[in-house]
Amino acid sequence: MGKAKILVVEDEAIIARDLQWRLEGMGYDVPFIAASGEDAVIKALEMKPDLVLMDIMLIGEMDGIEAANQIRSKDDIPVMYLTSYADDELLERAKITEPFGYMIKPIGDRELFSGIELTLSKHRTEKKLRENEKWLSTVLSSIGDAVITTDIKENIVYMNPAAEVLTGWRIKEAAGKAVEEVFNIVNDKTGEKIKNPIGGVLRDKIVTSLAAHTVLITKNGTKVPIDDSCAPIKDEKDNITGVVLIFSDITELRQSENFIKNILESVGEGFIVIDKEYRVLSANRAFSEYVKMPVEDILGKHCYEVTHYIKKPCSEAGEECPVRHTFETGEPHSVVHTHYDKDGKPSYV
């Protein structure tokens, strides 16, 4: 890292020259001294210094506060004020320009050096933070999933463009609102309102997902089937500072599922879809008629409970299990299998 470049703004020539010599003796580069607010603005935008040391009281129509305001509005250049006056009214005016600090004249070398180094370090940190925030915002804006973040009070802090499109709310409208007002979800089957998952995440400090058949009610009242996950946002001390909600429109997936379901319903043979825990995820009408049980009673049960009326997998009951074989090998498997109805009557499949 090279020498930090400092623009000195001071209308008293002797003080300005002394300050320049002292700064150069500390290892800083001081290529120019501005004697007025107007010159300070011009030179700051031209030189792009790492820091402006600005005297508040300057000759001419533009004082140091106005000069700092113009510099800060046009470029990311930190300003530190130098002043012989410390009255409250002046300091309140100066605060509006968001300076990085104040130093009261006369200023000792140690105070001057430490003040400059702290200001430069703070500005580098803030600049890096802004760059990281911009990078994160760009990433979130470019992904297809909708993203909403909230604070610990469950009020909306951020929405990416995908979330704006999906909910119908602009971030300017939604910011600060309770998330339930914007992320309004209901059960598609019953129409009942679903409790927002964010409260549970804040309470249990774990990642959660929405139940099946969840639909989002958009701002204009449209129903959109969605899938989502919800996770806590933590600081470096592992304290929860908010929640991130990621969700997506699964309309096409739902349509595809319905298409497949209609095909399965049209065939005469019984079909079921089973997960690795042997739970039934889907069943067609033919299977329902075969086991003499409504589809809604079949879903969620273990397959061996439905077809054998037993409480453990077929393989543990001494029967060959084609489902287990397929899960273990990833290949189709056929077997003549004995099923039983609730009265214990066997059938062969």
Structure tokens at 132: 């990281």
pLDDT value for 287: 82
Q: Which of 249, 277, 295 is the C-terminal boundary of a domain? A: 249
Q: What is the pLDDT of residue 102?
A: 77
In this prediction, residue 337 carries a pLDDT of 64
Q: Are residues 129 and 23 in the same domain?
A: yes
Query: Is 268 contained in some domain?
Result: yes
Q: Is the pLDDT of residue 280 over 90?
A: no
Domain holding 344, by residue range, is 255-348
Helices (H), 102-175: 109-142, 161-167, 171-174
Same domain, yes or no: 130 and 219: no
Q: Is residue 1 part of a domain?
A: no
**Band (49; pLDDT cuts 50, 70, 90):** very high
Distance CA 18, CA 16 (A): 5
What is the pLDDT at residue 127?
87
> Do 29 and 131 share a structural domain?
yes
> Which residues are paired to 302 by β-bridges?
279
Q: How confident is the model at residue 339 (pLDDT cuts 50, 70, 90)?
A: low
Q: Are residues 105 and 16 in the same domain?
A: yes
pLDDT digits (tens, 9 = 90+) for 142-195: 677 899 999 999 999 999 999 999 999 999 999 999 999 999 999 888 888 988
Question: In this structure, is the dihedral angle defined by the CA atoms of residues 63, 65, 67 and 69, taken in order, positive or negative?
Answer: negative
Q: CA 12 to CA 16: how far, in whole Å?
A: 6
What is the predicted pLDDT for the residue at 105?
84
Question: Do 97 and 45 belong to one domain?
Answer: yes
Enter the tokens of residue 299: 């879903």
How large is the angle between the packed helices 64-74 and 37-47, nearest 10 degrees? 30
The string over 285-303, giving b where at least 16 C-beta atoms fall within 10 Å of a residue's C-beta and e elsewhere, is eebbebbebebeebbeebb
- The count of domains in the chain is 3
Distance of CA 268 to the CA centre of its chain: 48
* Range ranked top by mean pLDDT from 41-45, 97-101, 118-122, 213-217: 41-45
pLDDT tens-digit map of 200-230:
888 888 888 877 778 999 999 999 988 888 8
Last residue of a domain, one of 249, 278, 300: 249
Task: Indicate the pTM of the whole model.
Answer: 0.54
Examine residue 91 and state whether it is found in any structural domain, yes or no.
yes
Could you tell me if residue 229 is inside a domain? yes
CA 278 to chain centre: 36
Pick the last residue of a domain from 113, 138, 163: 138
HSE (side-chain half, CA atoms, 13 Å) at 318: 0
Q: What is the model's pLDDT at position 27?
A: 94
Same domain, 196 and 237: yes
**CA dist 14 → 9, 28, 312 (Å):** 12, 19, 94
219 and 158 in a single domain? The answer is: yes
228 and 293 housed in the same domain: no
Residue 270 within a domain: yes
The CATH number for 188's domain is: 3.30.450.20
CA distances to 117, 256, 284, 301, 312 from 296, rounded to whole Å, are: 70, 20, 11, 10, 21
Residue 10, classified by CB atoms within 10 Å of its CB into exposed (0-12), middle (13-18) or buried (19+), is buried
Query: Tens digits of per-residue pLDDT, 61-110?
Result: 898 889 988 998 899 999 998 887 666 666 677 677 777 777 888 889 99
Domain identity same for 126 and 14: yes
My answer on whether 30 and 53 are in the same domain is yes
Q: In Å, what is the CA distance from 45 to each residue of 68, 119, 120, 307, 347?
A: 11, 19, 18, 80, 88
Is 89 in the same domain as 177?
Answer: no
Q: Which residue has the higher pLDDT, 187 or 267?
A: 187
DSSP string for 8-67:
EE-S-HHHHHHHHHHHHHTT-B---EE-BHHHHHHHHHHH--SEEEEESS-BSS--HHHH
Check whether residue 92 and residue 175 sit in a common domain: no
Q: Is residue 217, in this structure, part of any structural domain at all? A: yes
